[in-house]
Amino acid sequence: MGWFVRRLAQSLVMLWVVVSLVFLSIHFVPGDPAELLLAQDGGSPDPLMVQMLREQLGLDRPLPEQYSHNVMGILRGDLGASMVDGSSVGQEVMRRLPRTLELIAAAGILSLLIGIPAGVLSALRPRGRFSRGAAVVAGTAQSVPVFVLGTLLVVLFAQVLGWLPAGGFVPFSRDPGKHLQLLVLPAATIAIGLSAIVFRITKASMLDVLPLDFIRTARAKGVPARRVIIRHALRNALMPVITVFALQLGGLLAGTVLVETVFNWPGLSGMLVAGVNARDYPVVTGVLVVVSAFYIGLNLLVDIIYGITDPRVRK
């Protein structure tokens, strides 16, 4: 229990550091949000109007006061209001977050379904044709940028074959079939590179486990080969896969910008880009805090799983 409390405390400290760094980074970037907002219609804004807007937005307050107000709001679960249109940042984040999580979840499931079986088969015959071919495909998948891969998938499946729509978004509640069709290409774009990583980690981990004594003992006792591979070898080889996979998912939450842009998927990434362009402090801070909390939470979950499966970690 003490180990868990320490890890939880460390996670909260990391989140506080992230919030502080985000706040300072945004406020130290050159430019005045009030001037940008008033200059959207062109021309030079009136200095008096700029000062009035700064007071209205609280930008005229000392930096420590703005910081404390920001942190206290986050602790209350209030991410503030957009400087551009006054909408609630928290509500907009909660509206867009499920879309990004759905995209990542679909890509994650697809990558596991591809990467783990391919890694196991390659480890069983590491010098075979399948293993060599899978290694080439995995290396290629990791080398191609996601925006290039996404564009190629759109050209092939949307324009040439006409099997899937090129992009867009329709809520699942309105049209489930159309929603799933629109989800396929962006999820596949992410899953291709992620499955290559899962494949490599699974193969390497299986190659480490297969020569161990308990595997040889199970085979000597006449345990069926399928059971030895799945129940004994794969079960013990999955921990590194889970670790890397969880960290990759956390990174994807902030790294889907290009995919959501290519396929016009209205998730968190588009909101973040719009906030950065408009110097909308609450929007940028709110999105980054949610992404960081998700990433730190995944790290904490992985540590908890390690602690449960391996008592040595809790020492």
CA angle (77 as vertex; 75, 83 as ends), nearest 5: 105
Q: What is the pLDDT along the chain (315 residues), one digit of tens a residue?
A: 677 788 788 888 888 888 888 777 776 766 666 666 656 555 566 677 667 767 666 666 777 877 787 778 777 777 777 777 778 888 888 888 888 888 888 998 999 999 999 999 998 888 888 989 999 998 888 888 888 888 888 888 888 888 888 888 888 888 888 999 999 999 999 899 889 999 999 999 988 888 887 777 877 777 787 787 877 788 778 888 887 887 787 777 766 777 888 888 888 887 887 777 777 778 888 888 888 888 888 778 777 776 666 555 555
| Contact between residue 23 and residue 284 where contact means Cβ atoms under 8 Å apart | no
- Alpha-carbon distance of 136 to 141, in angstroms, equals 9
- Alpha-carbon distance of 185 to 167, in angstroms, equals 8
Quote the tokens at residue 279: 């110097």
| Contact between residue 169 and residue 265 where contact means Cβ atoms under 8 Å apart | yes
**How much is the pLDDT for 114?**
92
| Contact between residue 106 and residue 183 where contact means Cβ atoms under 8 Å apart | yes
Query: Quick one: CA torsion of 78, 79, 83, 84, rounded to 10 degrees?
Result: -110
CA 46 vs. chain centroid, Å, equals 42
**How much is the pLDDT for 117?**
92
pTM attached to this predicted model: 0.77
DSSP-derived 3-state class of residue 88: strand
**How much is the pLDDT for 110?**
92
**How much is the pLDDT for 6?**
80
DSSP-derived 3-state class of residue 24: helix
**How much is the pLDDT for 109?**
92
Give the phi and the psi of residue 278 in degrees, each rounded to 5.
-90, 0
- Alpha-carbon distance of 265 to 179, in angstroms, equals 11
**How much is the pLDDT for 195?**
92
- Alpha-carbon distance of 188 to 312, in angstroms, equals 38
**How much is the pLDDT for 261?**
81
| Contact between residue 272 and residue 288 where contact means Cβ atoms under 8 Å apart | yes
**How much is the pLDDT for 271?**
82
Q: Could you give the residue ranges of the DSSP H alpha helices within the chain?
A: 2-28, 33-38, 47-57, 63-75, 89-124, 129-143, 146-153, 176-209, 213-220, 225-227, 235-255, 257-262, 268-277, 281-309
- Specify burial of residue 79 (Cβ count, 10 A radius: 0-12, 13-18, 19+): buried
Quote the tokens at residue 155: 């050209």
Between the alpha carbon of residue 252 and those of residues 44, 84, 92, 171, 313, the distances in Å are 40, 27, 20, 22, 27
Altogether, the residues listed in the chain come to a count of 315
| Contact between residue 134 and residue 125 where contact means Cβ atoms under 8 Å apart | no
| Contact between residue 57 and residue 34 where contact means Cβ atoms under 8 Å apart | yes
Give the phi and the psi of residue 81 in degrees, each rounded to 5.
-120, 150
